[in-house]
Structure 1
Amino acid sequence: MKKNLILAIFSGLLLWLAWPPTQYLSFLLFVGLVPMLLAIENIILSTAKNKGKQIFAATFLGFFIWNTLSIYWVYNSVKMVGEIVAIPISLIPYSLGPLLMASACWLYFRLRVATNRSISLVGLVCFWIAYEYLHQTWPLAFPWMTLGNGFAVSHQYVQWYEYTGVYGGTIWIWVINILIFLFYMSLSEAKTKAYRTKIVIAFFAILVLPLGFSLTRYYSYQEQVNPSNVVVAQPNIDPYAKAAEIPVYQQLSILTHESDSLAQKNTEYFIWPETAIPTPFAEESIRSNNSYQQVKSFLNKYKNANVITGAETYKIYNSQQTETASPMDGGQFYDAFNSALSIENSENVQFYHKSKLVPGAESIPFASLSFLKPVFAHLGGAAGSYGRQAEPSVFYSQSGIGSDPVICYESIWGEYVGQAVLKGAQFIAIITNDGWWENTSGKDQHLDYAKLRAIETRRWVCRSANTGISAFINQRGDIVKHTGWWVRTAIKQDINLNSDLTFYTKHGDYIAKIGTFLALLGMMWILVRIRFR
């Protein structure tokens, strides 16, 4: 058992070394799962009892190491409540993903008992994809560690994400690892030379063909010239001081000053970060709001410009119209929102309410289980207080330009971002506040993942982060301009608008849905075999 635990730990370390933001080690993703497969195989072929439990324990340990070392920064967002409380709270995101990953490996073992190794390995890939899809759709969603995200720092290798999304990367990684594993096993199992030759040919074909296509696509890709001048502001305001210590008018003055420093007469967009207007206001009375008036005053100098900004807003109802609405005095109810606003030189104001809420910080998973609320109460926000909207929105300017407002955490959902592009968004505006994580790799991973959204949709990404890193990302996924961390500044870029739709934009996470369907069939087969055995 000790040997198998060492193999699992080694696998976890390899995956961590390959994970963003580490540069030049992405190739380790192609071998990182091989030790884990060998550990599972050793247990299956052993005479030990409780093989399923041993496989679950070993794989959980390896994946826990990978996840914890990669997202250690989650602890920074909760440590304000004290180390005694923060450590167990951090264990939720550190452990939940590995539990699901280990479950996929356990299902592989159960399928292996019921059928042969080849079919079981296909089942393993499907079980894994089903786990990843579950982990982006259920109330505890955290798709940060989806395997296909691992190429975010090597985006030149995965230009074909415009056809598959990140799930294509997940399959690519698993298939390469499985082929290496099968070749290694063939040496000890005295397989024929012809068998090993087939594996070698398959390995090089599956590695080289996608890579060659991607590099060809990367170096030959040409953007259609359709320029729009955009200014992104980074106010660098301590997130812990935003709500109480710095007056709102002063925060907006910083934003307008930085924006003014680079703006041109033809500037069409100013993009400001998440909760740039931190004091909540009623949406129905926005035109009398002082912050709104301050933004409108700034726009007087730029007649064709729009401001996309984050804000804390709320709506008041006479009855409980939504599940998230909270009661007020007088029998009324209200919903609070983490919002994006589009303000222009007219009376038109467009609102978008963040849909993909952070579990615990912005929504209570499985809200009917009220005992969970205190557990999540200190995850960097007002626990469970936010409402949401079901679908993405597109902000349209007076000139007809469509932009996709994406708030922070939402930028790791490829299909969701693609839905806004399908509705007419010609570029993506990500507004975020990564200061909660401090100067850790969390902010770098968040930026890197935005490169994948650019490739999937072939849209420019304009990213405004309160404390950094703000950036412009072109349609190939290149970061063409970016700010530093914890710097008050602004950056400007002529981006190219695009109206063409990629295959992935049209069809979304079709790979994940097919994989999940096949995984369900595999689980049904396992249950049938257990029942009749």
Structure 2
Amino acid sequence: MNNKYVLALLSAFLLWLAWPPIPYTGLVLLIAFVPLLLGIEQIIRNDSSLKGRKVFGLAFLTGFIWNTASIYWVYNAMSAQLPAYAALPISLIPFGLAPLLMATAFWLYYQLRKKRSLPISLVGLASLWISYEYLHQTWDLAFPWMTLGNGFATSHQLVQWYELTGIYGGSLWIWLVNILLFVLFLHRHQHYVLKRHKLVLSLLIGIIAIPVIGSIVRYSTFEEHVNPSEIVVVQPNIDPYSKFGPIPPEDQLQTLLQLSKSVSKPNTEFFIWPETAISSRSWIDEENFREYPAYEEILTFLDSYKNGNVLSGIESIRFYNDQRTTTARPYGSQFVDHFNAAVLVDNSSKLQFYHKSKLVPGVEQMPFGSALSFMKPLFAQFGGTTGGYGRQDEPSVFYSQSGIGAAPVICYESIWGDYVSDYVRQGAQFITIVTNDGWWKNTSGKDQHLQYAKLRAIENRRWVARSANTGISAFINQRGDIVQQTEWWVPAALAQEINLNEQLTLYTRYGDLIAFASLITAFLSILLLIKPTKKVV
């Protein structure tokens, strides 16, 4: 096998090692791109023709193997809700689309190498990569699961500085270390003249050591401000393949109520139930929810808790007299929107609803719905809704009668760092994640999803109360430690006294500044490609 392909496979393997839920394996990311960079260097220096295509192909191969091996479980999630003939092609979107974008970044790096110096080209590569990661979370085919900074989720003790930078700080750290290692390797083994190699080595040691040591100190000395609240998370363990079939909604509700009572205290303030926990044989009309038996039963249950609130996932609908939204569909003389939603029920007659915003492409929304509206009948045949689920554009916070602000994050939304921070900027004092990870079955997907919640806790210094239908439910403190968690696929409930927090971190205040800086640098790199100055590689 050609050496460059061996190097590409080695990079793919090292990248994959960071994603299984094994503590500290994320550190391999600090060396993972060096083999691929060396393989591309072989193409640039030794191959005589089609260099650009070969660079693109090698980078795509690495990305495709890494992505598919890490998120193989996506097919399970798709096949659970779509016919097999639709699940496979839609699964290929996250399997193949991200590698295409990754390969494009490396191809542009090669183009820079033809015209600019190695250092400038490497700066361009890092900025192009982080720009790709950021842009890949902002469009209708968004899937930021594999953003490099997420790879440190199992090494959260070493990335306490995410409260300053968010996950793009992790992506930048990875690229800085890999680039410096690559340059030092070229200097030592491939006759690349690095005039100040000792300075570069010192810089490398500092870039590795300072964040790690600083993080360990921050982790060891961090103290939460005492502001207690008693919370319960419930895991009913209702098989998602049966949830909408043989198990009556009434029985599902009784399971939730009984589990809630089993660990509650008189001063419990929030009961967190998972995604779509409240359901009926048909979708629940938000305007008339108070008329449903489930609502009355929840109110009766809350009579025992003076400041009690139920925060739950719910399948809901809204009716309009006109087509108020692009996702509303005709329903007799009216229009109707379907929502994957959350609701807050308290002892008053007030109801608060939140509609999931970050929808799963192909399953919960039709990508580029306005431009591809002619394809609505096709998506209907896939088993989804013809217009997709309705959504709201901005997050909203649920407030209890006592004034506590809770962030109702639904499933997939928890992998968007800046979006979760929007809840906190609006006043959320703790984060709830309601999810149904059973679609993925017993795969690493559920574990990865749990680990990512630790990063949200660190970025915002907020407790996370996670309720997953089939597991894994958990409480995560402000340092990112999992304080309690359930087992997979068992009915369970957990009670925990958490500390509410009102202070804002630097990341919460200012968001993804590193991503924005990378966008500017990437733009400047592309301008350098246009300028006709030529430098021989």
- Find the counterpart in structure 2 of residue 52 from structure 1: 52
- Find the counterpart in structure 2 of residue 140 from structure 1: 141
Q: Cα deviations across residues 194-239 of structure 1 (Å, max 9, x unaligned)? A: 6221221011100000001000000000000110000100000011
Cα distance in 1 between the residues matched to 2:176 and 2:383: 38
- Find the counterpart in structure 1 of residue 335 from structure 2: 333
- Find the counterpart in structure 2 of residue 222 from structure 1: 223
Contact kept in structure 1, 2:459 and 2:505, CA below 8 Å = yes
Cα distance in 1 between the residues matched to 2:35 and 2:194: 23
Equivalent position SS for 1:137? coil
- Find the counterpart in structure 1 of residue 153 from structure 2: 152
Cα distance in 2 between the residues matched to 1:191 and 1:445: 40
Judge which range, 403-412 or 284-293, deviates more.
284-293
Contact kept in structure 2, 1:361 and 1:383, CA below 8 Å = no
Cα distance in 2 between the residues matched to 1:375 and 1:129: 34
Contact kept in structure 2, 1:20 and 1:150, CA below 8 Å = no
Shift of 1:376: 6.0
Matched, 1:283 2:281: no
Once the two structures are superposed, the pairs formed by residues 351-362 of structure 1 within 5 Å of their partners are 351-362=353-364
Shift of 1:246: 1.2
Amino acid at match of 2:61: L
> Of 320, 323, 338, which aligns to 1:320?
323
Equivalent position SS for 1:343? strand
Contact kept in structure 2, 1:360 and 1:377, CA below 8 Å = no
Amino acid at match of 1:254: T
Query: CA RMSD for the aligned pairs?
Result: 1.9
Equivalent position SS for 1:150? helix
Judge which range, 317-326 or 473-482, deviates more.
317-326
Structure 2 vs 1, CA of residues 477 and 374 (structure 1 numbering), >3 Å: closer, same or farther? farther
Cα distance in 2 between the residues matched to 1:474 and 1:412: 17
Q: Cα deviations across residues 29-50 of structure 1 (Å, max 9, x unaligned)? A: 1111101111111111124211
Once the two structures are superposed, the pairs formed by residues 371-382 of structure 1 within 5 Å of their partners are 382=385
- Find the counterpart in structure 2 of residue 22 from structure 1: 22
Contact kept in structure 1, 2:105 and 2:125, CA below 8 Å = yes
Cα distance in 2 between the residues matched to 1:52 and 1:68: 24
- Find the counterpart in structure 2 of residue 404 from structure 1: 407
- Find the counterpart in structure 2 of residue 187 from structure 1: 188
- Find the counterpart in structure 1 of residue 119 from structure 2: 118
Once the two structures are superposed, the pairs formed by residues 67-466 of structure 1 within 5 Å of their partners are 67-80=67-80, 85-190=86-191, 195-279=196-280, 280-330=283-333, 332-367=334-369, 368-370=371-373, 382=385, 384-466=387-469
Matched, 1:37 2:37: yes
Equivalent position SS for 2:73? helix
Contact kept in structure 2, 1:233 and 1:491, CA below 8 Å = yes
Contact kept in structure 2, 1:360 and 1:383, CA below 8 Å = no
Judge which range, 266-275 or 47-56, deviates more.
47-56
Cα distance in 1 between the residues matched to 2:335 and 2:461: 41
Amino acid at match of 1:62: T
Contact kept in structure 1, 2:86 and 2:382, CA below 8 Å = no
Judge which range, 470-479 or 355-364, deviates more.
355-364
Which runs of no fewer than 5 residues in structure 2 stay unpaired? none
Structure 2 vs 1, CA of residues 207 and 247 (structure 1 numbering), >3 Å: closer, same or farther? same
**TM-score relative to the length of structure 2:** 0.95
Contact kept in structure 2, 1:361 and 1:381, CA below 8 Å = yes
Equivalent position SS for 1:45? helix
Cα distance in 2 between the residues matched to 1:439 and 1:190: 49
Shift of 1:530: 8.8
- Find the counterpart in structure 2 of residue 522 from structure 1: 525
- Find the counterpart in structure 2 of residue 3 from structure 1: 3
Equivalent position SS for 1:277? coil
Amino acid at match of 1:89: I
Shift of 1:498: 0.3
Structure 2 vs 1, CA of residues 340 and 523 (structure 1 numbering), >3 Å: closer, same or farther? same
Q: Cα deviations across residues 62-115 of structure 1 (Å, max 9, x unaligned)? A: 111110110011111233556555433322211111111111111111112121
Contact kept in structure 2, 1:77 and 1:380, CA below 8 Å = no
Cα distance in 2 between the residues matched to 1:85 and 1:355: 23
Judge which range, 300-309 or 464-473, deviates more.
300-309
Contact kept in structure 2, 1:89 and 1:376, CA below 8 Å = no
Cα distance in 2 between the residues matched to 1:486 and 1:443: 11
Cα distance in 2 between the residues matched to 1:13 and 1:371: 41
Amino acid at match of 1:32: A
Equivalent position SS for 1:321? coil
- Find the counterpart in structure 2 of residue 499 from structure 1: 502
Q: Cα deviations across residues 448-495 of structure 1 (Å, max 9, x unaligned)? A: 000000000000000000000000000000000000000101000000
Amino acid at match of 1:478: D
Shift of 1:373: 5.1
Cα distance in 2 between the residues matched to 1:504 and 1:375: 42
Cα distance in 1 between the residues matched to 2:405 and 2:393: 19
Equivalent position SS for 1:315? strand
Amino acid at match of 1:223: E
Cα distance in 2 between the residues matched to 1:419 and 1:396: 15
Amino acid at match of 2:311: I
Structure 2 vs 1, CA of residues 188 and 366 (structure 1 numbering), >3 Å: closer, same or farther? same
Equivalent position SS for 2:196? helix
Equivalent position SS for 1:341? strand
Cα distance in 2 between the residues matched to 1:374 and 1:67: 31
Contact kept in structure 1, 2:263 and 2:495, CA below 8 Å = yes
Judge which range, 175-184 or 275-284, deviates more.
275-284
Shift of 1:23: 2.8
Amino acid at match of 2:360: V
Contact kept in structure 1, 2:112 and 2:529, CA below 8 Å = yes
Shift of 1:372: 5.4
Amino acid at match of 2:401: Q
**TM-score relative to the length of structure 1:** 0.96
Amino acid at match of 2:74: V
Q: Cα deviations across residues 158-215 of structure 1 (Å, max 9, x unaligned)? A: 0000000000000001111111111110013446686221221011100000001000
Structure 2 vs 1, CA of residues 289 and 380 (structure 1 numbering), >3 Å: closer, same or farther? same
Shift of 1:335: 1.0
Contact kept in structure 1, 2:379 and 2:385, CA below 8 Å = no
Amino acid at match of 2:477: N
Equivalent position SS for 1:259? helix
Shift of 1:380: 8.6
Amino acid at match of 2:46: S
